[in-house]
Amino acid sequence: MIKQALSFLFLFLVLSGSAIAATQTGLPWEGPLETIKNSLTGPIAFYISLIAIAITGSVLAFGGNLEGFAQKAVYLALGISVTVFASNLLSSAFNMNGAIIP
């Protein structure tokens, strides 16, 4: 029992250094990912999503019978544009980005 506890403690101490090292910032891909995030949540994306919601809504309302790939593409465009619109709307209304964890 004591041998198992000591080996668990040893593994915990050895692996905790790796976990602390993994939380450091400054990785080479953080800059490009931040640029992509800013592009997807900026004011241009907000206006593009408004236009896409209007276009896909009118296609669904007045487009007649859409079947197969065309219908799925319109639903996909509508889903993406609503998601971008909601993200921008919530971040501008409440002045926050991401989730709030108490």
By CB atoms closer than 10 A (0-12, 13-18, 19+), residue 43 is: exposed
Are the beta carbons of 85 and 56 closer than 8 angstroms? no
pLDDT of res. 46:
80
Q: What number of residues does the chain have?
A: 102
The C-alpha atoms of residue 17 and residue 21 are separated, in whole angstroms, by 6
pLDDT of res. 81:
85
- pLDDT tier, 97 (very low <50, low <70, confident <90, very high otherwise): low
pLDDT of res. 35:
86
Q: Which of 35, 41, 36, 28 is nearest to 98 (CA)?
A: 41
Whether residue 73 has pLDDT greater than 70 = yes
Whether 3 maps to a domain, the answer reads: no
Whether 2 maps to a domain, the answer reads: no
Whether 64 maps to a domain, the answer reads: yes
pLDDT of res. 3:
72
User: Considering the entire predicted model, what is its pTM?
Assistant: 0.53
Whether 12 maps to a domain, the answer reads: no
Whether 19 maps to a domain, the answer reads: no
Whether 44 maps to a domain, the answer reads: yes
Whether 80 maps to a domain, the answer reads: yes
Are the beta carbons of 49 and 88 closer than 8 angstroms? yes
Q: What is the mean pLDDT of residues 20-26?
A: 59
| Domain count within the chain | 1
Whether 16 maps to a domain, the answer reads: no
Tens digit of pLDDT for each residue in 27-50? 788 888 888 877 777 778 788 888
40-54, 67-81, 85-99: segment of lowest average pLDDT:
85-99
For residue 90, give its domain range. 32-102
